[in-house]
Amino acid sequence: MKTQVAIIGGGPSGLLLSQLLHRRGIESVVLERKTRDYVLGRIRAGVLEQGLVKLMEEAGCADRLHAEGILHDGTLISYGDEMFRVDFTEHAGTPVVVYGQTEVTRDLYDAREKAGGQIEFNVEDVMIHGADTNAPFITYKVDGQERRLNCDFIAGCDGFHGVSRQTIPLDVRREYEKIYPFGWLGILSETPPVNHELIYANSPRGFALCSMRNENLSRYYIQCALTDKPEDWTDAAFWEELKRRIPADQAANLVTGPSIEKSIAPLRSFVTEPMRWGRLFLCGDAAHIVPPTGAKGLNTAASDVHYLYNGLTEFYADGSTDGIDSYSQKALARVWKAERFSWWFSSLMHRYPDQSEFDLKMQVADLEFLRSNKAAQKAMAENYVGLPY
């Protein structure tokens, strides 16, 4: 089998790249190791920067997003019973959109299927060959049968544990990582959100986040120990702990109910350099991971897609390699800014096991400075809604 761009990974970044390329007449094949239902069953973040919204529009996949997405002009930050608002529209001129990553992925799958896009599911033993040559190809198995996909370029959208990053030789790539000493316990419940805006809470008991998917579906998180397991927490215990971490007036309005999903996510910052080796390009979690504080994971993957899609479009339109040659440099420049914001916001809002009394005082001082200083709020707002591509 032959295609122009082989895409490893059928998550949102791989599907978005495939759909955007299709709109420019560029062929692609997507290889996904799981089933469509499995991919759509993964619960992920749901705060979209305008850059991603515009890419969905360009991909022809934004109708449901605009109909069902919730515009957020700001966010609430609390510490103890104190709470203040950072206004995105005032400070950055644009809102974010709350629309679940699962729904983004569903819209992209529907678009690829409608367009007759080639997606292979349940692929195994994926291997990349000749990425540093002008004739790369991929071998893999489906139902035990060996297959080969010849291509011009390979986009590795297969996540942290995928084969793409590992294909780049160790003497070429360099990796940077920070492991945080806690996780997030999250639940999904069919209850109305406690507030119409997100609440990021710094509490002496640990961080909490009140989020939502829609008017009757809420997503809540609390900071927890890495040794905790979801089954350690009953729904009742979760709700009681959440109430202790958010301001009393918000806790009084919290509507509780049975969880329909419960999971724990560890937090890490990770970047690999470079994001290109020969004709192999890394996108999204294959190249970088951010803590979920600030919702940069999917959005940073989208910016990778933006740079790669435009570079490939230039190549097929007029033979120019400028875009693909500068891909890694451009993508990484924005990635590191997103990493910095996620690291800063995580440091501001969480309790760390080695924090001294001085450290805690500095954290409160930083929060109060953010509360009172318009320049600090502007910097936060610009990073939260997304830096320009």
Instruction: Give the per-residue pLDDT at 46.
Output: 84
Residues 63 and 147 in one domain: yes
Reported pTM:
0.95
Alpha-carbon distance of 255 to 189, in angstroms, equals 10
Inside any domain, residue 78: no
Say which range, 30-34, 39-43, 272-276, 330-334, has the weakest mean pLDDT.
39-43
Residues 200 and 301 in one domain: no
Residues taking part in catalysis: 72, 200, 292, 296, 384
Residue 245 has pLDDT above 70, yes or no: yes
DSSP 286: G
Tokens of 212: 């939502």
Instruction: Give the per-residue pLDDT at 115.
Output: 96
Instruction: Give the per-residue pLDDT at 37.
Output: 87
Inside any domain, residue 80: no
Sheet holding 137-142, edge to edge: 123-129, 137-142, 145-150
In three-state secondary structure terms, 5 is strand
How many domains is the chain partitioned into structurally? 2
Residue 291 has pLDDT above 80, yes or no: yes
Q: pLDDT over 90 for what percent of the chain? A: 94
DSSP-assigned beta bridge partners for residue 96: 72
Q: What is the pLDDT of residues 52-103, one digit of tens each?
A: 999 999 999 999 999 999 999 999 999 988 999 999 999 999 999 999 899 9
Inside any domain, residue 87: no
Residues 39 and 115 in one domain: yes
Instruction: Give the per-residue pLDDT at 42.
Output: 75
Q: Are 45 and 22 in contact (CB under 8 A)?
A: no
Say which range, 33-42, 162-171, 188-197, has the weakest mean pLDDT.
33-42
Instruction: Give the per-residue pLDDT at 213.
Output: 83
Residues 28 and 100 in one domain: yes
Instruction: Give the per-residue pLDDT at 43.
Output: 65
Residues 323 and 367 in one domain: no
Q: Which of 123, 117, 116, 121 minimizes the C-alpha distance to 147?
A: 123
Residue 132 has pLDDT above 90, yes or no: yes
Burial of 366 (0-12, 13-18, 19+ CB in 10 A): middle
Residues 369 and 256 in one domain: yes
Q: Detail the DSSP E strand segments found in 191-313.
A: 199-202, 208-214, 217-224, 259-273, 276-277, 280-282, 288-289
Virtual torsion, Cα 284, 285, 288, 292, nearest 10 deg: 100
Question: What is the residue whose two structure tokens read 């469509």?
Answer: 36
Q: What is the pLDDT of residues 187-240, one digit of tens each?
A: 999 999 999 999 999 999 999 999 998 889 999 999 999 999 999 999 999 999
Bridge pairing between strands 280-282 and 153-156: parallel
Alpha-carbon distance of 215 to 190, in angstroms, equals 9
CATH number at residue 289: 3.50.50.60
Alpha-carbon distance of 360 to 205, in angstroms, equals 12
Residues 173 and 304 in one domain: yes
Inside any domain, residue 335: yes
Alpha-carbon distance of 163 to 168, in angstroms, equals 9
- Average pLDDT of the residues in 4-29: 97
Burial of 372 (0-12, 13-18, 19+ CB in 10 A): exposed
Q: Which of 44, 41, 40 minimizes the C-alpha distance to 98?
A: 44
- Average pLDDT of the residues in 146-150: 98
User: Mean pLDDT, the chain, as a whole number?
Assistant: 96
Q: Which of 7, 77, 99, 92 minimizes the C-alpha distance to 371?
A: 77
Residue 356 has pLDDT above 90, yes or no: yes
User: What range does the domain containing 307 cover?
Assistant: 5-70+96-177+269-345
User: What ranges in 34-162 are assigned the alpha helix state H?
Assistant: 36-40, 50-58, 63-68, 88-92, 101-114
Instruction: Give the per-residue pLDDT at 235.
Output: 97
